């Protein structure tokens, strides 16, 4: 597995994160073909890195479940 340097990426907080400090994730959109995700409460901690295709599938599945009232 190769290491990915995330020191210079631009992170944004998910629009689904709440403003009280809980359930906050940040996503970096400016990494080609990858979507790094981290806990905004631990910005120096680990990040999970997904392929853009896998992340898109995940987001689509979550949206579909939400529309069906399953979340």
Extents of the domains making up the chain: 11-67
- For residue 5, give the nearest of 40, 32, 41 by alpha carbon: 32
- What own/partner pairs with CB < 8 Å and gap ≥ 24 does 10-18 have? 11/38, 11/40, 11/43, 13/40
Strands 47-51, 11-13: parallel, antiparallel or unpaired by DSSP? Answer: unpaired
Element at 64 (helix H, strand E): helix 52-67
> Residue 67: which pLDDT band, with cuts at 50, 70 and 90?
confident
Of the segments 15-19, 51-55, 59-63, which one has the largest average pLDDT value?
51-55
Q: What is the pTM of this model?
A: 0.77
Percent pLDDT > 90 in the chain is 44
């Amino acid at each position: 597995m190769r290491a990915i340097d995330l020191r210079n990426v631009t992170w944004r907080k998910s629009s689904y994160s709440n403003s009280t400090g809980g359930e906050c994730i940040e996503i970096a959109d400016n990494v080609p073909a990858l979507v790094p995700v981290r806990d905004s409460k631990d910005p120096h901690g680990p990040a999970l890195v997904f392929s853009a295709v896998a992340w898109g599938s995940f987001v689509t599945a979550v949206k579909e479940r939400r529309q069906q009232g399953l979340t």
